[in-house]
Amino acid sequence: MASVSGPAQTAPVPASPLQRGIVKMVLSGCAIIVRGQPRGGPPPERQINLSNIRAGAIARRAAQGQPDTKDIPDEPWAFQAREFLRKKLIGKEVCFTVEIKTAIGREYGMVYLGRDTTGENIAESLVNEGLATVRREGIRGNK
């Protein structure tokens, strides 16, 4: 079966070096904000999405002034997955590799607690706790 490349296709990133940062925020059960070292100003920030897993989506409120939108409730275990990551990662040093970068700039990768890959693999921990599932249909992250 032939594959068709479109603008939303993902491309593997060449062997990404190990990068480090401090977790500033947890957006969901599979997305975090990592900040780098400050150098003459605010530290750079990146959103890293955990690759190869799927955690439930967090609830969203309907947009004000748009009658065709409606509230979307939490998917099962979405809140628990996010809180698990918040307790484990906020303010902690992590290292990560970027495996995939989409055409729109979204980055998917592996995140480890600590300074190197001998630390806890965060995606594996979520799956082991029953808060996320392994993606079978592709290598990307949560959507």
At 14-38, the pLDDT tens digits run 557 899 999 999 999 999 999 998 8
Distance between CA 138 and CA 141 in Å, rounded?
8
How long is the chain? Answer: 143
- Kindly tell me if the per-residue pLDDT of 49 is higher than 70: yes
> Residue range 115-130: average pLDDT?
95
Average pLDDT over residues 40-69: 88
Of 101 and 64, which is predicted with more confidence?
A: 101
- Return the sign of the alpha-carbon dihedral for residues 70, 76, 80, 83: negative
Residue 23 bridge partners (DSSP): 34
Residue showing tokens 């079978």 = 136
Predicted TM-score (pTM) of the model is 0.78
Q: What is the DSSP letter of 72?
A: B
Q: How far is C-alpha 65 from the chain's CA centre?
A: 30
Q: Is the pLDDT of residue 114 over 90?
A: yes
Residue 97 vs residues 43, 78, 104, 105: alpha-carbon distances, Å: 19, 24, 18, 15
Q: Which residues pair with 107 in a beta bridge?
A: 48, 101
Query: How far is Cα 106 from Cα 102, in angstroms, rounded to an integer?
Result: 5
